Chain A
Amino acid sequence: MARELKYNQAISEAHVQSMDRDPSVFLMGVGIADPSGLFGTTLEARKKFGLKRVFDTPMSENTLTGVGVGAAMCGMRPVLIHARNDFLLLTADQIINHAAKWSYMAGGKLKVPFLIRAIIGRGWGQAAQHSQSLQSLFAHIPGLQVIMPVTPHDAKGMILQAMQSNMTTVCIEHRWLYEKTGPVPEEHYTVPFGKGRIVKEGKDVTIVAISHMVLEAMTAVDELSKAGINAELIDLRSIRPLDESMILSSLKKTGRLMIVDTGWKTCGISAEIAALAAEKGLRDLKEPVVRLTIPEVPTPCSPALEALYYPTPKDIASAAEALVKGKAAVHAEAAKPAATEAGKPAREKEFTGPF
């Protein structure tokens, strides 16, 4: 029986192993060396390597991002960690104007091997500035790698991959994945970027899910099986680079494509995947592409509204069923938020906040 770890333990192990192997790795961020250790992901590293290599920073996110860029081009491998991905917006100048462009502007003479981790919040009324899902914004930028590991296995392997890459990587983790367990090899290994993961093979419809929505879609896929629908589920894992071939070959097999994202629809990664299907897989599409995302409003605080905000396994299953039955358009019209069942999502009974 393979060893099981929680998602946060897998991240912690990735940090410890990379710091063991490479003295140029160091971790920094607001509050990361405090007693909670960024939800437990930095505690072991701090204990083992001390405060010189795992340290708290001032609330100067943009400058600390630049510090990471400068240190990276001088032979270090910094890791900068944010408790919420909303804080990345403070650092957009250093990520987009500097980290992503320095190698190109320097004719390849300087590299920026830099990992930035940031967490998506959800639930317990985190509201508009603590629960955004900003992967698409950063995935727009050439020069960045954007990853969203879902399993503990991939969290460890993709972070270790980032630590071997010569580019800047933005790793966006969902808070609700942190307590999930899964098999994680003890040895050092990497999971390549730009490769999705087939969670379940199927032939009737392709569901491409992102981050926490993979777990919701797994429940949905089980429900669909009971209704006689054999869905194929892809965990995208890597937002940029995108695994075009996995999506297109799955579409070729099923003829139907649905995307479920933790972010918004407009100009989001679901739009990119739909465009991919239109450009390179149009003749394989038997039905229009279906996208399930959060609604086009900031996240509300009230539990009554929050419960309506996120796609549920039931939403995913019913949309997929309608798509397979050729009734997607009718279904989308009927599935207004008010029609969604209120209450806690099925899989997340344990999260009671506060952060």
Chain B
Amino acid sequence: MLSHDTAKNLYTAMLRCRLFEEKVAELYPQKEMKCPTHLSTGQEAAASGVCAALRKDDMVFSTHRCHSHIVAKGGDFKALMAELYGKATGCSKGKGGSMHFVEPEIGMMGSSAIVGGTVPLAVGSALASVLQSKDKVSVAFFGDGGLEQGTFHESMSFASLKKLPILFIAENNDMATCTHLDVRQPYHELYRHAEGYDMPGVRTDGTKVETVYAAAAKAVERARKGQGPSFIEVVCYRWKEHVGPNTDYHLGHRTKEELEMWMAKDPIKLFGELADKEKLLSVKEQDQIRSTIEKQIEEAVAFAKSSPFPEPAAMFEDM
């Protein structure tokens, strides 16, 4: 059974992710955020369940779809929103944008727009932890497309060989842009890859954040004890289009009914109901959390909009 604090953390993290991205989707049509944004609405349980099992100094690496990972790790709404607006106050001073969120202060070490690109980086950070005799754990977030890269397989092999403290988190949303998993890979059960690399592999339900958290907590403990890497598959669904604020079922590669079926299993709604029923987090507390986050996001938007753009000289800085 979860503690009140853990339940609160999980709920807060998921809602922070959701409300941040809903605000992005709402404001994006104003065309002031001039960068491609890949929203993870509907997939919040993966980031939130994993990050709730981490310490602040554990290190997370992400993908082009990185908003929820950084928000769940504790990212600063103001710095993130300002980054989307290309402002000097953004998390990377306006040089990275939506696909390259980074906040080393909270252990968010960056995001790559190359599919599978950060998986080796996370392995490197895990190796650094071992060489420095620290007990930090590293996390590589990637999607089902990431498994198709050589870097994934090479990274799994090397991390297992060296028994590195790392979690490989595969968010399986069945979709690479608009291409289904069954035309890209020989089987759907991604966790089966783990066995070949001699590490534990589990499949979790991305509509039930408590299952993701339980698997992550176990994997983190194992990593922290020096027992090596783990692989966790999170089965989830991307509510929005590949890139942008809208839905995409009108294209015909998936259906409105399928989206509605997944939206009915909204991980935040399900966990809110569970937490209330189990007396972990009352509806009243949940409402308080929501209003606090909404206020923070409004402040972040105002901050972002009023922040200055980078000076021309910034072009040549930070090499």
Contact = CB atoms under 8 A, between A and B. Distances in A.
Interface of A: 24, 26, 52-53, 57-58, 60, 62-76, 78, 93-94, 97-98, 102-110, 142-143, 167
Contact of B158 (A58, A72, A105, A109): A58
B138 to A, nearest CB: 8
A320 to B, nearest CB: 37
A330 to B, nearest CB: 45
Nearest to B123: A67
B128 to A, nearest CB: 4
Given A70-B109, A78-B124, 4 more contacts: A63-B119, A70-B124, A74-B109, A76-B127
Given A60-B157, A109-B102, A73 B318 contact: no
Given A69-B124, A97-B114, A63 B109 contact: no
B257 to A, nearest CB: 39
A71 B125 contact: yes
Contact of B124 (A24, A58, A72): A72
Interface in B147-181: 150-151, 154-155, 157-158, 161
B93 A98 contact: no
Contact of B125 (A58, A74, A94): A74
| Interface-centre pick from A71, A72, A76, A93 (highest chain B CB count, 10 A) | A71
Contacts of A62: 120, 150-151, 154
B227 interface: no
Contacts of A58: 154, 157-158, 161
Contacts, number: 140
A30 to B, nearest CB: 12
Contact of A107 (B95, B123, B132): B95
Nearest to A63: B154
B121 A107 contact: no
Interface residues of B, number: 42
A94 B150 CA distance: 12
What 4 pairs across the A-B complex have the smallest Cβ distances?
A70-B124, A66-B120, A108-B318, A63-B154
A69 B151 CA distance: 13
B92 interface: yes
A63 B128 contact: no
Interface in B100-120: 100, 102, 104, 109-110, 112, 114, 117-120
A109 B120 contact: no
Nearest to A70: B124
B121 A103 contact: no
A97 B114 CA distance: 8
B38 to A, nearest CB: 16
A105 B100 contact: yes
Given A63-B151, A74-B129, A106 B124 contact: no
Contacts of B129: 74
Given A70-B124, A74-B128, A94-B120, A107 B319 contact: no
A242 B29 CA distance: 45
B109 A73 contact: yes
A71 B128 contact: yes
A11 B123 CA distance: 28
Interface string B236-260: 0000000000000000000000000
Contacts of B59: 74
Interface of B: 59, 61, 90-96, 100, 102, 104, 109-110, 112, 114, 117-129, 131-132, 138, 150-151, 154-155, 157-158, 161, 317-319
A106 B123 contact: no
19 contacts: A62-B120, A62-B151, A64-B154, A67-B124, A67-B127, A69-B120, A70-B125, A70-B126, A74-B132, A75-B132, A76-B127, A76-B131, A93-B114, A93-B117, A98-B121, A105-B96, A106-B102, A109-B102, A110-B102
Contacts of B122: 70
Contacts of A65: 120
Nearest to A99: B121
Given A63-B151, A73-B125, A76-B131, A104 B95 contact: yes
Contacts of B125: 70-71, 73-74
Contacts of B123: 63, 66-67, 70
A66 B124 contact: yes
Contacts of A98: 112, 114, 117-118, 121
B158 A60 contact: yes
A69 B128 CA distance: 10
A110 B109 contact: yes
Contacts of A52: 131
A2 B21 CA distance: 66
Given A62-B151, A68-B124, A110 B110 contact: yes
Given A63-B158, A76-B131, A103 B318 contact: yes
Contacts of A75: 128, 132
B208 to A, nearest CB: 31
**B94, B100, B121, B125 pick with most chain A CB within 10 angstroms:** B121
B158 A64 contact: yes
B142 to A, nearest CB: 13
A70 B102 contact: no
Nearest to B105: A109
Contacts of B110: 73, 102, 105-106, 110
A104 B319 CA distance: 5
A60 B91 CA distance: 32
A355 B124 CA distance: 30
B100 A106 contact: yes
